[in-house]
């Protein structure tokens, strides 16, 4: 069985990185950084939105900003099925 990450890439998922700035609960004038990375679907980013909803619901540090970078690692033109085996030696 193929690994989950590879299977997701074949379904159109790409590597998504979110740089999250949030305020410290006890010191709202100070910003802290957090980096989140997972496979997600652009442009809707359901996995990232689920994570941010969890953050708002469960964590005390209010979000300041979120920067998102996304890259599809496997494109249809790059993936080709092989129909044979070549043996050397």
- Residues 30-84 have pLDDT tens digits of 999 999 999 999 999 999 999 999 999 999 999 999 999 998 776 555 556 667 6
- Break the chain into its structural domains and give their ranges: 4-71
How many Cβ atoms sit within 10 Å of the Cβ of residue 22?
A: 19
Exposed/middle/buried for residue 13 (C-beta within 10 Å: 0-12, 13-18, 19+): buried
- Whole-number CA gyration radius for the chain: 19
Q: What is the pTM (predicted TM-score) of this model? A: 0.75
Gap between the Cα atoms of 40 and 37, Å rounded: 9
């Amino acid at each position: 069985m193929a690994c989950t990450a590879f299977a997701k890439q074949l379904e159109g998922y790409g590597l998504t990185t979110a740089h999250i700035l949030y305020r410290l609960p006890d010191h709202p004038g100070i910003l802290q950084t957090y980096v989140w990375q997972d496979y997600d679907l652009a442009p809707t980013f359901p996995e990232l939105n689920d994570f941010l909803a969890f953050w708002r619901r469960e964590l005390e540090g209010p979000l300041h900003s979120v920067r998102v970078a996304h890259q599809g690692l496997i494109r249809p033109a790059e993936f080709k099925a092989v129909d044979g085996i070549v043996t050397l030696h």
